[in-house]
Structure 1
Amino acid sequence: MALAIRDVREHDLDAVLALNNAAGRTILALDAAQLRYFYEHADYFRVAEIDGHLAGFLIAMREGSNYESPNYCWFSTHYPQFVYIDRIVIANAYRRHGLGRIFYCDVNSYAEVRVPLLTCEVFLEPRDDVVVLFHGTYGFQEVGQQRMGESGPQVSLLAKDLPSYAYVRETYLDHGGLPDVPWLAERPRPFNDDSPQRRLAGERHS
């Protein structure tokens, strides 16, 4: 079995949309325009490909984006810097085989050299104890709860401290930026992202 975790490509979007909307009640449905927004704006948008088949994906956003998710907005009002995991979806055929942990290791590696906090939420209605346990064993702690809209589900808002960030900031980010190597690069996007954190990143590399 050949597994690859890579940045999403435009030709993946139809398969990503179908996978998202077949995932069940704990993943909010998307339309093509919403998925296009993620393609153009998400800081982290990677897919898992197994033997040429799309097996899953994870989308995450940094602070400073014009993203109206109520959970993203909650973190924006409480923390100045973070990476927010908006969604992770694994195809039915590849669930319970550790692919979620592989994604979380990968997004953790992305986040810990950029921000002090990795965040997400889990649905409490319906509650999935496997999902709650997964996040607890991966170091997330509850930092709040809220209801998504007047009639939406109750969610638990989770955060994980990234202790490596302090070293990276003091050693690299405060002294010219991250090394110019492929595994530290931001993913390419089809437009000029002028968000504050990316302007700062550009200044650090100049």
Structure 2
Amino acid sequence: MALAIRDVREHDLDAVLALNNTAGRSILALDAERLRYFYEQADYFRVAEIDGHLAGFLIALRDGRDYSSPNYLWFSEHYPAFVYIDRIVIANAYRRHGLGRIFYCDVNSYAEVRVPLLTCEVFLEPADDVVVLFHGTYGFQEVGQQRMGERGPQVSLLAKDLPSYTYVRDTYLENENSGLPDLPWLAGRDLPLANQDAKARRLAGERRS
């Protein structure tokens, strides 16, 4: 079994949309417009490919994005800097292969050199003890709860401290030679060309902070 975790490509989007919308009640449905937003704006959007087949994906955004998700907005109101996991989906045929943990290790590695906090939410309605246990064993703690809209589900808002960030910030991000080393595993996602200016402004702001 050949596994690759890589940045999403435009030709993946139809398969990602189909996978998302057949994932069940615990994953909110997407339309093509919302998925295009993620493709153009998400700081982290990676897929798992097994033997050439799309096996899953994870989408995450940093603070400061123009994103209307009530859970993302909750974290924006409470924390100045974070990476927010919007969704993770694993295809039925590839569950129980450890892909969830592989994705979480990967997004953790992305986040811990950029921000002090990794965040997400889990649905409490319907309750899923396996999902709650998964996040608990990975170091997430509940920092709040809210209902998504008047009739939406109750969710538990989770956060995981990233202690490595302090060292990275002091050594690289706030050093006079600011910036992470130019290594492939430290590189951020190459957003579509239309968003390169916004990415450049973000990086410039980080170097000045």
- TM-score (normalizing by structure 2): 0.94
Compute the displacement of 1:97 (Å).
1.6
Aligned-partner Cα distance in 1 for 2:197–2:78: 23
The reply on whether 1:14 has 2:37 as its aligned counterpart is no
Count of aligned pairs: 204
Distance 1:152 1:61, change over 3 A: same
Question: Residue 41 of structure 1 contacts residue 193 of structure 1 at CA under 8 Å; is this kept in 2?
Answer: no
Question: Residue 15 of structure 2 contacts residue 54 of structure 2 at CA under 8 Å; is this kept in 1?
Answer: yes
**2:69 is matched with which residue?**
69
The reply on whether 1:192 has 2:195 as its aligned counterpart is yes
Letter in 1 for 2:163: P
Question: Residue 46 of structure 1 contacts residue 57 of structure 1 at CA under 8 Å; is this kept in 2?
Answer: yes
Aligned-partner Cα distance in 2 for 1:92–1:192: 33
Aligned-partner Cα distance in 1 for 2:116–2:78: 13
Aligned-partner Cα distance in 2 for 1:96–1:47: 17
Letter in 1 for 2:105: C
**1:83 is matched with which residue?**
83
Compute the displacement of 1:199 (Å).
2.0
The reply on whether 1:136 has 2:139 as its aligned counterpart is no
**1:99 is matched with which residue?**
99
The reply on whether 1:109 has 2:112 as its aligned counterpart is no
Aligned-partner Cα distance in 2 for 1:200–1:92: 37
Aligned-partner Cα distance in 1 for 2:200–2:82: 14
Aligned-partner Cα distance in 2 for 1:199–1:186: 14
Question: Residue 40 of structure 2 contacts residue 195 of structure 2 at CA under 8 Å; is this kept in 1?
Answer: no
Compute the displacement of 1:189 (Å).
1.4
| Identical columns (%) | 83
SS of 1:105's equivalent?
Answer: helix
SS of 1:192's equivalent?
Answer: helix
Structure 2, unpaired ranges of 5+: none
Compute the displacement of 1:169 (Å).
0.2
Letter in 2 for 1:105: C
Structure 1, unpaired ranges of 5+: none
Compute the displacement of 1:192 (Å).
2.4
**1:159 is matched with which residue?**
159
